[in-house]
Structure 1
Amino acid sequence: MTQQIELEIGGMTCAACANRIEKKLNRLEGVTATVNYATEKARATVPAGLSAADLIAVVEKTGYTAAEPKAEPVAEAQRADPLRTRLLVSAALSVPVIVLAMVPAWQFTYWQWLSLTLAAPVVVYGGWPFHRAAFVNLRHGAATMDTLVSIGTLAAFLWSLWALFLGDAGVPGMTHPFELRAGSQGDALYLEAAAGVTAFLLAGRYAEARAKRRAGDALRSLLALGPKTVTLADGREIPADKLQAGDTFLVRPGEKVATDGTVVDGASALDQSLLTGESVPVEVAAGDPVTGGTVNAGGRLVVRATRVGADTQLAQMARLVEEAQNGKAAVQRLADRISGVFVPVVIALAAATLGYWLGTGQGTTAAFTAAVAVLIIACPCALGLATPTALLVGTGRGAQLGILIRGVEALESTRRVDTIVLDKTGTVTTGTMTVSSIVPEPGQDADELLRLAGAVEAASEHPLGRAITRAAAAKGSLPPVSDFRATAGVGVRGVVDGAEVEIARGTGDTAETWVEVRVDGTARGRLALSDSVRPTSAAAVRSLRALGLEPILVTGDAPAVAEAVAAQVGITEVIAGVLPAGKVDVVKQLQARGRSVAMVGDGVNDAAALAQADLGVAMGAGTDVAIEASDLTLMRDDLTAAVDAVRLARRTVTIIRGNLFWAFAYNVAGLPLAAAGLLNPMIAGAAMAFSSIFVVANSLRLRRFKAAAPQR
Structure 2
Amino acid sequence: MTTHTLSTKPGDAASPDLCSLDPTELSVSGMSCASCAAKVERALNEQVGVTATVNYATASAYINRDSTTLTVDDLIGVVEGLGYGAEPAPTDNDDLEEAAEADDAAAKAQVHDLKIRFWVSAALALPVMVISMVPAWQFRGWQWVALALTTPVVVWGALPFHRATLTNLRHGTTTMDTLVSLGVLAAYGWSLWALFFGGAGELGMKMDMSWLPATTGSGGMGDMPGMDHTIGAAPHELYLEVAAVVPTFLLGGRWAEARAKRRAGSALRSLLRLGAQEARVVAADGTEVTVPASAVNVGQLLVVRPGERVPTDGEVTGGTSTIDASLLTGESVPVEVVPGDAITGATVNLSGRLEMRATRVGSDTQLARMGRLVRDAQAGKADAQRLADRVSAVFVPIVLLIAAATLTAWLALGQPVDAAIAAAVAVLVIACPCALGLATPTALLVGTGRGSQLGLLISGPQVLEATRDIDVMVLDKTGTITEGIMSLVDVVPGPGTERAELLRLVGSAESGSEHPIAAAITDAARYELGDLPPVESLTNHPGLGVRATVISSGEHTLVLVGRPGLLADEGLVWPEGLRSRADELGSDGVTVVAAGWDGTVRGLLTVADTVRPDSERAIAALVEHNITPWMVTGDAEPVARAVAEQVGIDPDHVVAGVMPEDKVAIVARLQGEGHRVAMAGDGVNDAAALATADLGIAMGSGADVAMEASDLTIVSGALMGTVDAIRLSRSTLGTIKVNLFWAFGYNVAAIPLAAVGLLTPLIGGLAMAASSVLVVLNSLRLRRFQPTR
- Superposition TM-score, scaled by structure 2 size: 0.53
Quote the residue 2:85 is aligned against.
65
Amino acid at match of 1:345: I
Q: Does structure 1 residue 415 correspond to structure 2 residue 500?
A: no
Return the alpha-carbon distance in structure 2 between the equivalents of residues 15 and 3 of structure 1.
26
Which residues in structure 2 correspond to 1:57-136 (within 5 Å)?
A: 57-70=77-90, 71=95, 72=99, 73-74=102-103, 75=105, 76-87=107-118, 89-102=120-133, 104=135, 107-136=138-167
The 1:20–1:138 alpha-carbon spacing in structure 2 relative to 1, beyond 3 Å, is same
SS of the aligned residue for 2:25 comes to strand
Quote the residue 1:501 is aligned against.
none
SS of the aligned residue for 1:32 comes to strand
Quote the residue 2:292 is aligned against.
239
The 1:646–1:18 alpha-carbon spacing in structure 2 relative to 1, beyond 3 Å, is farther
SS of the aligned residue for 1:256 comes to coil
Amino acid at match of 2:655: V
Q: Does structure 1 residue 33 correspond to structure 2 residue 52?
A: yes
Contact kept? 1:15, 1:381, Cα under 8 Å: no
The 1:20–1:532 alpha-carbon spacing in structure 2 relative to 1, beyond 3 Å, is same
Which residues in structure 2 correspond to 1:432-511 (within 5 Å)?
A: none
The 1:53–1:601 alpha-carbon spacing in structure 2 relative to 1, beyond 3 Å, is farther
Quote the residue 2:275 is aligned against.
226
User: Could you tell me which of 244, 247, 250 is aligned with 1:198?
Assistant: 247
Alignment root-mean-square deviation, CA: 6.3
Return the alpha-carbon distance in structure 1 between the equivalents of residues 644 and 654 of structure 2.
20
The 1:412–1:658 alpha-carbon spacing in structure 2 relative to 1, beyond 3 Å, is closer
Contact kept? 1:566, 1:574, Cα under 8 Å: no
Deviation, 1:296, is 4.3
Quote the residue 1:600 is aligned against.
655
Contact kept? 1:346, 1:378, Cα under 8 Å: no
User: Could you tell me which of 375, 378, 387 is aligned with 1:322?
Assistant: 375
Q: Does structure 1 residue 12 correspond to structure 2 residue 31?
A: yes
Deviation, 1:34, is 0.9
Structure 2, unmatched stretches of 5+, are 1-17, 215-225, 227-233, 414-418, 448-462, 475-564, 570-579, 581-585, 591-607, 632-636, 684-688, 700-705, 707-716, 751-758
Quote the residue 1:376 is aligned against.
433
Return the alpha-carbon distance in structure 1 between the equivalents of residues 382 and 204 of structure 2.
57
Return the alpha-carbon distance in structure 2 between the equivalents of residues 351 and 648 of structure 1.
52
Which residues in structure 2 correspond to 1:690-705 (within 5 Å)?
A: none
The 1:289–1:544 alpha-carbon spacing in structure 2 relative to 1, beyond 3 Å, is farther
Which residues in structure 2 correspond to 1:141-220 (within 5 Å)?
A: 141-176=172-207, 186-220=235-269
Return the alpha-carbon distance in structure 2 between the equivalents of residues 332 and 323 of structure 1.
18
Contact kept? 2:403, 2:424, Cα under 8 Å: no
Deviation, 1:569, is 4.7
Provide the aligned length of Structure 1 versus Structure 2.
Answer: 545
Amino acid at match of 1:213: R
Deviation, 1:160, is 0.8
The 1:686–1:25 alpha-carbon spacing in structure 2 relative to 1, beyond 3 Å, is farther
Amino acid at match of 2:23: Q
Quote the residue 1:680 is aligned against.
765
Q: Does structure 1 residue 139 correspond to structure 2 residue 194?
A: no
Quote the residue 1:23 is aligned against.
42
The 1:681–1:228 alpha-carbon spacing in structure 2 relative to 1, beyond 3 Å, is farther
Return the alpha-carbon distance in structure 2 between the equivalents of residues 281 and 567 of structure 1.
16
Return the alpha-carbon distance in structure 1 between the equivalents of residues 698 and 354 of structure 2.
23
SS of the aligned residue for 1:170 comes to coil
Quote the residue 2:494 is aligned against.
none
The 1:117–1:261 alpha-carbon spacing in structure 2 relative to 1, beyond 3 Å, is same
SS of the aligned residue for 1:9 comes to strand
The 1:333–1:646 alpha-carbon spacing in structure 2 relative to 1, beyond 3 Å, is farther
Deviation, 1:166, is 0.2
The superposition leaves residues 57-79 of structure 1 with CA deviations (integer Å, 9 ceiling, x where unpaired) of: 11121222222225323222133
Deviation, 1:27, is 0.8
Using the TM superposition, name which of 45-54 and 291-300 deviates more.
291-300
Deviation, 1:197, is 2.0
User: Could you tell me which of 738, 742, 748 is aligned with 1:665?
Assistant: 738
SS of the aligned residue for 1:138 comes to helix
SS of the aligned residue for 1:34 comes to strand
Contact kept? 1:14, 1:381, Cα under 8 Å: no
Q: Does structure 1 residue 286 correspond to structure 2 residue 351?
A: no
Return the alpha-carbon distance in structure 2 between the equivalents of residues 204 and 600 of structure 1.
41
Deviation, 1:85, is 4.5
Return the alpha-carbon distance in structure 2 between the equivalents of residues 567 and 6 of structure 1.
42
The 1:664–1:95 alpha-carbon spacing in structure 2 relative to 1, beyond 3 Å, is closer
Quote the residue 1:431 is aligned against.
none
SS of the aligned residue for 1:227 comes to coil
SS of the aligned residue for 1:12 comes to coil
Contact kept? 2:207, 2:237, Cα under 8 Å: yes
Contact kept? 2:303, 2:354, Cα under 8 Å: yes
Deviation, 1:21, is 1.2
Contact kept? 2:621, 2:723, Cα under 8 Å: no
Deviation, 1:149, is 0.6
SS of the aligned residue for 1:175 comes to coil
Return the alpha-carbon distance in structure 2 between the equivalents of residues 545 and 29 of structure 1.
51
Amino acid at match of 1:341: V
Return the alpha-carbon distance in structure 1 between the equivalents of residues 211 and 322 of structure 2.
65
Return the alpha-carbon distance in structure 1 between the equivalents of residues 122 and 193 of structure 2.
25
SS of the aligned residue for 1:113 comes to helix
Return the alpha-carbon distance in structure 2 between the equivalents of residues 93 and 567 of structure 1.
58
Return the alpha-carbon distance in structure 1 between the equivalents of residues 430 and 294 of structure 2.
54
Contact kept? 2:622, 2:723, Cα under 8 Å: no
The superposition leaves residues 161-180 of structure 1 with CA deviations (integer Å, 9 ceiling, x where unpaired) of: 10111011111233337999
Structure 1, unmatched stretches of 5+, are 391-406, 419-470, 476-510, 512-529, 554-560, 576-596, 622-626, 706-712
Amino acid at match of 1:310: S
Deviation, 1:154, is 0.2
The 1:664–1:566 alpha-carbon spacing in structure 2 relative to 1, beyond 3 Å, is closer
- Superposition TM-score, scaled by structure 1 size: 0.58
SS of the aligned residue for 2:275 comes to coil
Return the alpha-carbon distance in structure 1 between the equivalents of residues 610 and 628 of structure 2.
14
The superposition leaves residues 575-617 of structure 1 with CA deviations (integer Å, 9 ceiling, x where unpaired) of: 9xxxxxxxxxxxxxxxxxxxxx86736589x99x979774899
Return the alpha-carbon distance in structure 2 between the equivalents of residues 356 and 654 of structure 1.
50
Q: Does structure 1 residue 304 correspond to structure 2 residue 352?
A: no
The 1:142–1:550 alpha-carbon spacing in structure 2 relative to 1, beyond 3 Å, is closer
Contact kept? 1:354, 1:367, Cα under 8 Å: yes
SS of the aligned residue for 1:680 comes to helix
Deviation, 1:217, is 3.3
Amino acid at match of 2:471: R
SS of the aligned residue for 2:149 comes to helix
Contact kept? 1:263, 1:286, Cα under 8 Å: yes
SS of the aligned residue for 1:211 comes to helix
Which residues in structure 2 correspond to 1:616-631 (within 5 Å)?
A: none
Deviation, 1:299, is 5.2
Amino acid at match of 1:56: I
